[in-house]
């Protein structure tokens, strides 16, 4: 109760203690205000920065740098990250150990429209009629 004898609910809603607010009015006002809200800038995470520049990191890997090298470079720039976290953020990049990666664009040969037409008109690849049998063996019981 305040000095005038009204409860907090009466002050906020203008309704008596026993009266319930009209939910249609309340939610109509709420959703109208929600629609009027302006977008709020969301700060980007380190993961988003790294993933949006994935091609640059892959390019550095193709030049012979390792995830350890790139993580150290990031630490030198003021951001602490482990090589394994950097690798996880970037995703799987295939390449043999010790072998420089080729650029994603360089590794895929371009097909002409005639080659694409030949591929789409060709017969499907042959399939085997032998049933698939798993090479797994059952566990030994102890």
| Tens-digit pLDDT profile for residues 106-139 | 444 555 555 555 544 555 555 555 555 555 566 6
Question: Measured in whole angstroms, how far is the alpha carbon of residue 7 from the centre of its chain?
Answer: 49
Confidence of residue 103 (pLDDT cuts 50, 70, 90): very low
What's the DSSP call for residue 5? S
Residue 43, pLDDT > 60, answer yes
pLDDT tens-place string over residues 48-71: 999 999 999 999 999 999 999 999
**Predicted pLDDT of residue 20:** 80
Establish how many alpha carbons lie within 13 A of residue 133's alpha carbon, considering only the half-sphere containing its beta carbon.
5
Angle of CA points 136, 141, 142, to nearest 5°? 140
């Amino acid at each position: 109760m305040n000095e005038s004898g009204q409860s907090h609910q009466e002050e906020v809603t203008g309704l008596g203690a026993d009266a319930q607010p009209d939910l249609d009015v309340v939610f109509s006002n709420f959703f109208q205000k929600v629609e009027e809200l302006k977008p709020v800038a969301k700060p980007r995470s380190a993961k988003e920065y790294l993933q949006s520049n994935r091609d640059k990191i892959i390019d550095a890997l193709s030049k012979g740098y390792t995830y350890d090298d790139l993580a150290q470079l990031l630490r030198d720039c003021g951001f602490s990250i482990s090589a394994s976290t950097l690798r996880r953020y970037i995703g799987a990049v295939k390449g043999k150990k010790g072998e420089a990666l080729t650029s994603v664009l360089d590794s895929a040969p371009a097909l002409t429209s005639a080659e694409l037409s030949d591929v789409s008109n060709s017969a499907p690849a042959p399939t085997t009629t032998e049933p698939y049998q798993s090479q797994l063996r059952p566990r030994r019981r102890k």
